């Protein structure tokens, strides 16, 4: 298992973690097997957004003494109300839920406290001015939560929250299909007519700007919806018309800027094993370029998707990283400084390019790498 640092949070998490939502309604025996298979495989981060009490009791019981070995991502604002899940912005309800969460996990802290599901600017304003953020900040000051974050599906709202400066972590929905989408309501992600629109081309700039805002501020991303609720496995449903493998989708998520961990929802030991197979998969199995590179949405966009398909370079230039730095540098001062620092730290730079062009022959996305290397020299001076 590879581990990556959530920079502002200052913790090192497994690049594959467990999303626990599919454990809802499962027996303790099943939950025990799934949770311990994940931990035995090296996963050390669990997302628990579910407000239903019994599943949290069962996960806590399954963890037992291993609780201290994992980073728990718990949610502030997902509450259990009248026998149902409810998103709440009522501070008292949030307080009662966190109290209950700690009891069910037999713990006195939550590693990552995530303000739950902020998808609109109106809701962000309500969180920031209506008491929930103040409550979350107090939890952090008191050591009840160690890092503060939020979950979102909306790049514009999420970017605003990141730029407000209070978040250490964001849980965000990422896969190559969602990356095409503009700001769109979550409930329309799966509408057939959403995908009948033929204007999608490459990664939506709003989403790219969100990734760059996180990267430049050290705000780490944990990923949900890596598999797109399974529809990216189905060629009849996928906008790319070809099935994708779990390894490809995990690799896509992990190669987005600022992403530290992708949290895979598993309900069986076999699904845990399928996610863990990424760790031993070869480059070809992980490579998503053979699907996205022939898709009309990505083909010839001339946009780098950081797939590394163009490697190796005879000059040992990390082409994907150079492109990431260039993309990051188009933002404000903070992003430019972060881009310069990342670029300078690379072993080889645009100035080392001998314009052999082998990378361009391999790139499925029509990126003019030689020009990009020249751009890097102009921008970063090396
Ligand atoms: S230049 Fe092309 S092949 Fe290389 S990382 Fe970017 S998109 Fe992938
Ligand atoms: S063109 Fe430049 S970046 Fe591409 S493989 Fe050749 S030396 Fe490397």
Q: Is the CB of 160 under 6 A from ligand 1?
A: no
Which residues, in sequence order, are bridge partners of residue 74? 48, 113
Atom of ligand 1 nearest to the CA of 366: 2
DSSP state of 160: H
Atom of ligand 1 nearest to the CA of 320: 5
Distance CA 76, CA 132 (A): 8
Looking at residue 70, its pLDDT comes to 97
Q: Is the CB of 341 under 6 A from ligand 2?
A: no
Looking at residue 271, its pLDDT comes to 95
Q: Is the CB of 346 under 6 A from ligand 2?
A: no
Cis preceding linkage at 54, omega within 30: no
Looking at residue 295, its pLDDT comes to 83
Q: Is the CB of 369 under 6 A from ligand 1?
A: yes
Distance CA 5, CA 220 (A): 8
Q: What percent of the chain has pLDDT over 70?
A: 96
What is the 378 CA–ligand 1 centroid distance (Å)?
20
Atom of ligand 2 nearest to the CA of 322: 3
Asked whether the beta carbons of 204 and 181 are under 8 A apart, the reply is yes
Distance CA 377, CA 246 (A): 37
The two tokens of residue 325 are: 């730095």
Looking at residue 187, its pLDDT comes to 66
Q: Is the CB of 365 under 6 A from ligand 1?
A: yes
Asked whether the beta carbons of 42 and 13 are under 8 A apart, the reply is no
pLDDT by residue (tens digit) across 140-171? 999 999 999 999 999 999 999 999 999 999 99
Distance CA 94, CA 134 (A): 12
Q: Is the CB of 308 under 6 A from ligand 1?
A: yes
Atom of ligand 1 nearest to the CA of 308: 5
Q: Is the CB of 312 under 6 A from ligand 2?
A: no
CA 159, 164, 170, 171 torsion: positive or negative? Answer: negative
Q: Which helix (H) or strand (E) holds 18?
A: strand 16-19
- Ligand minimally distant from the alpha carbon of residue 359: 2
Q: Strand, helix or coil at 87?
A: strand
- Ligand minimally distant from the alpha carbon of residue 358: 2
Looking at residue 194, its pLDDT comes to 66
Q: Closest Cα to atom 4, ligand 1: which residue?
A: 310
Distance CA 81, CA 197 (A): 38
User: Treating both helix axes as pointing N-terminal to C-terminal, what angle do 132-141 and 91-104 enclose, rounded to 10 degrees?
Assistant: 40
What is the 288 CA–ligand 2 centroid distance (Å)?
21
- Ligand minimally distant from the alpha carbon of residue 321: 1
Q: Which residues does the chain have with pLDDT short of 70?
A: 183-199
Q: Is the CB of 320 under 6 A from ligand 1?
A: yes
In this structure, what is the dihedral angle of CA atoms 32, 34, 35, 37, given to the nearest 10 degrees? 110
Question: Is the whole model's pTM more than 0.85, yes or no?
Answer: yes
pLDDT by residue (tens digit) across 186-213? 666 666 666 665 567 788 889 999 999 9
């Amino acid at each position: 298992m590879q581990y990556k640092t959530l920079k502002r949070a200052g913790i090192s998490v497994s690049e594959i973690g467990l999303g626990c939502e599919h454990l809802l309604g499962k027996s303790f025996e099943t939950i025990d097997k799934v949770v311990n298979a994940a931990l035995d495989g090296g996963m050390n981060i669990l997302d628990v957004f579910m407000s239903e009490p019994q599943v949290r009791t069962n996960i806590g019981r399954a963890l037992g003494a291993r609780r201290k070995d994992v980073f728990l991502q718990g949610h502030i604002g997902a509450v259990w109300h009248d026998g149902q899940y409810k998103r709440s912005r009522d501070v008292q309800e949030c307080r009662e839920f966190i109290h209950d969460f700690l009891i069910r996990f037999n713990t006195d802290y939550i590693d990552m406290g995530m303000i739950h599901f902020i998808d609109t600017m109106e809701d962000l304003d309500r969180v920031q001015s209506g008491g929930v953020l103040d409550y979350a900040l107090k939890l952090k000051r008191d050591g009840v939560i160690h890092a503060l974050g939020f979950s979102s599906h909306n790049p514009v709202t999420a970017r605003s929250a990141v730029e407000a400066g209070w978040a250490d972590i964001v849980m965000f929905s990422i896969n190559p299909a969602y990356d095409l989408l503009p700001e769109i309501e979550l409930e329309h992600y799966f509408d057939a007519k959403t995908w009948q629109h033929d204007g999608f081309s490459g990664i939506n700039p709003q989403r790219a700007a969100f990734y760059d805002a996180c990267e430049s501020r050290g705000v780490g991303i944990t990923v949900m919806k890596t598999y797109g609720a399974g529809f990216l496995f189905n060629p009849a449903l996928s906008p790319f018309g070809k099935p994708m493998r779990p390894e490809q989708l995990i690799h896509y998520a992990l190669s987005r800027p600022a992403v530290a961990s992708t949290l895979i929802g598993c309900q069986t030991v076999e699904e845990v094993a399928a996610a863990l197979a990424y760790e031993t998969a070869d480059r070809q199995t992980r490579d998503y370029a053979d699907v996205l590179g022939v898709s009309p949405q990505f083909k010839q966009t001339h946009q780098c998707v950081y797939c590394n398909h163009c490697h190796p370079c005879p000059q040992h230039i990390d082409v994907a990283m150079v492109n990431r730095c260039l993309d990051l540098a188009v933002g404000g001062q903070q992003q430019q400084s972060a881009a310069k620092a990342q670029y300078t730290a690379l072993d080889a730079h645009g100035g080392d390019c001998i314009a052999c062009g082998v990378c361009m022959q391999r790139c499925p996305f029509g990126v003019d790498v030689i020009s990009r290397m020249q751009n890097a020299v102009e921008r970063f001076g090396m």
